[in-house]
Amino acid sequence: MDEEHVKFREDCNTFLSKCERIFGQLKPFDKTQFRKLVYQEEKVIPEGLMLSDLFDRYLETNDKIKIRTKDHYKTTKNVLETFKPGITVWDVTPDMLNKFERERTLKGSSEATASSYIRHLRSLINHFSKVEKLIPDSYTYPFGKGGYSVGNYWGQKLVLSNKEIKRIAELDEFVSDEHEYARDIWLFLYRCNGINMADLLRMKWTNIKGDYFVFKRMKTETTRRYNKKDIVVPITPKVQELIDKVGVKDSPFILGYFKEDFNDNTFRNKINRVTIPINKKLGEISKKLNLSVELKLKTARDSYATTLKRAGKSKDEISEMLGHSNSVVTEHYLASLDMEKTFDINDCLY
């Protein structure tokens, strides 16, 4: 048998071994993931299982992860590497996680931010323990019962008063057209169930169904497998006024910033270029009106929820309009907006 045939046989045996190894590691079996792992070029993972290597591999082999989420994972990798240069999977223990959380909060990170880093780390370890089994069974899993529990934190939020929101809506003198446009976009978000800017940028004229906008929140497209809800926004006269004012009729998208074939990179770059100048103009409007909370695009959602709550709408109604997965999420969300009640509660003090 000549050398060419010998090499071909060796290549076939190597490929077969690779298939068998990946098949044994992939639990539960997923045909698409199997093909991806089989045909991609294998990267050698050091025996030490450095977290930086695992983060890189995880992000390179998971096409379904949104670009913004990838950025969060990269930040987590960098933060962990700063915490302990050369950190490996073996270093991740309950004691290490508690120490990491304490150190991050002492350095100024919120508890929610510190927890988000640990959630990303947990997802990474779960993937390489259960899906792509690079972490050996001898590793002691640091999370869950008897280990480290990732906390849920709902920070308190300062919110605009009803009088302030009314002043924003009724403002009719602006330094420039750009300032008026920024105010109109904020009102659009506020009057459309407090949606975020990403959803408004993606909203099409075809999302108008009779007297309603009907669409799915971008945030829930990848974070929820079940209970995906349509957001239904009634097109009231005030909403229609804004559509007529800022809508771009010759574009498939209401605000006209995209074409049909945009990708994730295009979207991320565009949303940054659009929102930064709008938020700057909103900040200038805040100073002009002497608002108690700085006006930003993201405050539209808090203002919407607060307005409904102050008007006596039920928790279930607010949950439905915000598109929350359940009323428990809404309960936590509304609790974070309850700071103004503290004055009424303590009013009895001498």
* pLDDT at 179 exceeding the cut of 90: yes
Q: Within this chain, do residues 85 and 211 fall inside the same structural domain, yes or no?
A: no
pLDDT of residue 228: 67
Distance in angstroms (rounded) separating the CA atoms of residues 229 and 220: 9
More confident residue, 257 or 23: 257
Within 13 Å of residue 283, how many CA atoms lie on the same side as its CB? 6
Long-range own/partner contacts, residues 309-313 (CB < 8 A, 24 or more apart) = 309/334, 309/337, 310/162
Distance in angstroms (rounded) separating the CA atoms of residues 9 and 15: 10
Q: Which of 89, 92, 91 is nearest to 49 (CA)?
A: 89
pLDDT of residue 276: 95
More confident residue, 227 or 315: 315
In b/e form, how buried is each residue of 293-317, taking b as 16+ CB within 10 angstroms?
eebbbebbbbbbbbbbbeeeeebee
pLDDT of residue 4: 76
Range of the domain at 313: 162-348
Neighbours of 135 (CB within 10 A): 20
Q: Within this chain, do residues 201 and 263 fall inside the same structural domain, yes or no?
A: yes
Q: Within this chain, do residues 108 and 8 fall inside the same structural domain, yes or no?
A: no
* pLDDT at 347 exceeding the cut of 80: no
* pLDDT at 278 exceeding the cut of 90: yes
* pLDDT at 85 exceeding the cut of 80: yes
pLDDT (tens digit per residue) in 311-344: 888 888 888 888 877 767 777 667 666 666 666 6
DSSP, collapsed to helix, strand or coil, labels residue 109 as coil
Q: Within this chain, do residues 318 and 172 fall inside the same structural domain, yes or no?
A: yes
pTM of the prediction?
Answer: 0.69
CATH of the domain at 58: 1.10.150.130
Q: Is 157 within the bounds of a domain? A: no
Which residues, at least 6 apart from 181, have a Cβ–Cβ distance to it below 8 Å?
A: 246, 278, 281
More confident residue, 3 or 322: 322
* pLDDT at 226 exceeding the cut of 60: no
Q: Within this chain, do residues 309 and 331 fall inside the same structural domain, yes or no?
A: yes
Q: Is 155 within the bounds of a domain? A: no
Q: Within this chain, do residues 192 and 324 fall inside the same structural domain, yes or no?
A: yes
Q: Within this chain, do residues 268 and 170 fall inside the same structural domain, yes or no?
A: yes
pLDDT of residue 63: 78
pLDDT of residue 335: 60
Within 13 Å of residue 51, how many CA atoms lie on the same side as its CB? 29
pLDDT of residue 42: 59
pLDDT of residue 136: 87
Q: Within this chain, do residues 183 and 322 fall inside the same structural domain, yes or no?
A: yes
Whole-number average pLDDT of the chain: 85
Is the peptide bond preceding residue 94 cis, with omega within 30 degrees of 0? no
Domain count, the chain: 3
Q: Within this chain, do residues 185 and 229 fall inside the same structural domain, yes or no?
A: yes
